[in-house]
Amino acid sequence: MEEYSITVVGIGNAYRSDDGIGLYVARQIESLALSGVRVVEGIGDGFALIDAWADSDHTFVIDCASSGAPPGTTYHFDALCESIPSNLFSGLSTHSISVNEVIELARVLNRLPRGLIVYGIEGKSFSAGIDLTPEVRQSANKIIGRIVEDIESLTRHKVTGGDNA
């Protein structure tokens, strides 16, 4: 039977403190070595996101948010059903487009995966360094749990012939 393919994309810069929270989540999920799950990180060019999810049934994107909300605040979007607010995520770099813009472009071009969940975690510190703020890490750990549950649910439905698309 063909395996359900899931991609987890962590976005951010690991050397700018909480900006690396998306990478932290992705690496934790990678360490679980879940079957059918591919982890992608190191995307510097926003447009590359479209290629990152091109071959997968379901994709999770995790990025650090910077909207002024309390640190550790989490956001969950089903990108197939809703747009992501433009003030949440900054550009992947000053030279590239932001996660919400890439998603809108892919939506217009009909290049979204069958499932696309975006998690945001509000960061606190963006200074040079590799340490994560405790409250931000704590929220990330909860999101890891949710993603693992979602993956298990998606995979189980596939095995039992369910359809999550």
* Closer residue to another protein, CB minimum distance, 91 or 162: 91
* Closer residue to another protein, CB minimum distance, 105 or 148: 105
Considering only the stretches 48-56, 71-79, 133-141, 148-156, report the one whose residues sit in contact with another protein under the rule CB under 8 A: 48-56
Q: Is 101 in the site for another protein (CB under 8 A)?
A: yes
Q: Is 48 in the site for another protein (CB under 8 A)?
A: yes
DSSP state of 64: E
Q: Is 109 in the site for another protein (CB under 8 A)?
A: yes
Instruction: Write down the least CB distance from residue 47 to another protein, Å.
Output: 6
For the stretch 47-50, contacts whose Cβ atoms lie closer than 8 Å and that sit 24 or more positions apart, written own/partner, are 47/96, 47/97, 47/102, 47/105, 49/9, 49/99, 49/102, 49/103, 49/106, 50/102, 50/105, 50/106, 50/109, 50/111
Query: CA 144, CA 120: separation in Å to the nearest integer?
Result: 12
* Closer residue to another protein, CB minimum distance, 33 or 95: 95
Instruction: Write down the least CB distance from residue 105 to another protein, Å.
Output: 5
- Applying CB under 8 A, which of residues 5, 38, 90, 104 lies at the interface with another protein? 104
Q: Is 138 in the site for another protein (CB under 8 A)?
A: no
DSSP state of 91: B
Query: CA 129, CA 20: separation in Å to the nearest integer?
Result: 10
Query: CA 33, CA 9: separation in Å to the nearest integer?
Result: 15
Q: What's the first-to-final CA gap in the chain, in angstroms?
A: 17
Q: Is 128 in the site for another protein (CB under 8 A)?
A: no
Q: Is 95 in the site for another protein (CB under 8 A)?
A: yes
The residues binding another protein (CB under 8 A) are 42, 44-45, 47-48, 50-51, 93-96, 101, 104-105, 108-110
